[in-house]
Amino acid sequence: MTTIPVGPPQGPSFFEQLGGHATFVRLVDAFYRGVAGDPVLRPMYPEEDLGPAKERLTLFLEQYWGGPTTYSEQRGHPRLRMRHNPFRVNPDARDRWLAHMRVAVDELALPPLLDETLWSYLERAAFAMVNTFEE
């Protein structure tokens, strides 16, 4: 008797396709190099050292894309809008965030489909974080 698989075939997760932990560390490091010198975004990171923010973003992105669930184990549900609510995220802040992230994604030199998949999510997430239209 032959068994018939149920559901779609299981292949590597996007996390694995991207290159796993090392790739997400490279992405986040490149992103925060830009943020460190940005006069609008840097004040949104209260720690003197950006290390804790880097770790949180790395863990979040890894989990979102099918990697380890360390983010939720340590911090609970992501609740991105709630976590960003204390900060004035206006279109200028969003666009600056996206500009630094675009540089970081470009540094990865991903194949086009992986690049577009990642970038599409990052754009949607950035637009969703806008919580004010005031300067």
> pLDDT for 21-61, tens place per residue?
999 999 999 999 999 999 999 999 888 889 999 999 999 99
Q: Are 38 and 97 in contact (CB under 8 A)?
A: no
Entry pTM: 0.86
- What is the model's pLDDT at position 135? 83
CA dihedral 68, 106, 32, 16 (to 10 degrees): 10
Q: What angle do CA 14, 119, 95 make, to 5 degrees?
A: 150
- What is the model's pLDDT at position 104? 98
CA dihedral 66, 69, 72, 77 (to 10 degrees): 20
| Dist CA 107 CA 135 (whole Å) | 31
| Dist CA 15 CA 19 (whole Å) | 7
